[in-house]
Amino acid sequence: MDITKKFENLDNDKQQRIINAALKEFAENGYEKASTNRIVKSAGIGKGMLFYYFKNKKALYHYLTDYTLDIVKNEYLTLIDTTEPDFIERMKQAARVKTKARSDNPDTFNFLGTLLLTSEGEVSADQLKKIQELQKLGNSKIYDNINNTLFRDDIDVDKAFKLVRWSIEGYQNEISAQLAGRKMSSINLDPYWDEFYEYLDILKTSFYK
């Protein structure tokens, strides 16, 4: 039985404790400065147990990379509805999907941010390929089958795409900073979504016919 199978046969709660502790450690400190001592302390396990399942820090990082990429694909990208031809409406739907995925997997998405900045030597060639494939999938989910005729004739559509995307991402980042440290389950997001939709209406007024 390989190491991954051994780990995945662990009790689910213990498995998730280890994953979450490791994701958080790498997200906060990066690959080089991440400490396996802090990981085992946070997970409440012995160091020997961690290295029984993962022979070294790099093996653990590789496991977390695959784990994160699978969640991004299955709980975010594949759920974006590409039948919606209105770019702003599709971005609206994608934002809701991403918010839920991030709320369900906060440490995973924080780890993803550091993963995209990591050096090539810290992920495998297969994982680099997987990252590139996910980036390609993400672009297709956002831009394929969009009805460009909705935009005003005097608008550069590619620049409008970027402005809309930057506006939405900027709003999400601002709200994420405001809500940092609070439990998402205890927050009523409806007022934030209402405000978000108001901004989208302004974008439509600015860019659409």
CA pair distance 71, 75, nearest whole angstrom: 5
The model's pTM:
0.83
> Is 28 within the bounds of a domain?
no
Check if the beta carbon of residue 45 is closer than 8 Å to that of residue 14. yes
- Each residue's pLDDT tens digit, 34-52: 999 999 999 999 888 898 8
Q: What's the total number of domains in the chain? A: 1
Q: Tell me, what amino acid is at 119? A: S
> Is the pLDDT confidence value at 209 over 80?
yes
> Is the pLDDT confidence value at 118 over 70?
no
Mean local confidence (pLDDT), 63-79: 94
> Is 38 within the bounds of a domain?
no
CA pair distance 26, 23, nearest whole angstrom: 5
> Is 24 within the bounds of a domain?
no
> Is 188 within the bounds of a domain?
yes
CA pair distance 56, 50, nearest whole angstrom: 9
> Is the pLDDT confidence value at 154 over 90?
yes
> Is 45 within the bounds of a domain?
no
Mean local confidence (pLDDT), 3-20: 85
> Is the pLDDT confidence value at 121 over 70?
no
> Is the pLDDT confidence value at 124 over 90?
no
> Is the pLDDT confidence value at 1 over 50?
no
> Is 141 within the bounds of a domain?
yes
Structure tokens at 25: 């450690």
> Is the pLDDT confidence value at 112 over 60?
yes
> Is 47 within the bounds of a domain?
no
Q: What is the pLDDT confidence band of residue 5, given thresholds at 50, 70 and 90?
A: confident
- Each residue's pLDDT tens digit, 159-188: 999 999 999 888 888 887 777 766 666 778
Burial (Cβ within 10 Å: 0-12, 13-18, ≥19) of residue 132? exposed
> Is 146 within the bounds of a domain?
yes
**Could you list the residue range(s) of the whole structural domain that residue 90 is in?**
60-206
* Core vs surface per residue 31-57: b (16+ CB within 10 A) or e: beebebeebbebbebeeeebbebbeeb
Query: Residue 119: its pLDDT value, please?
Result: 60
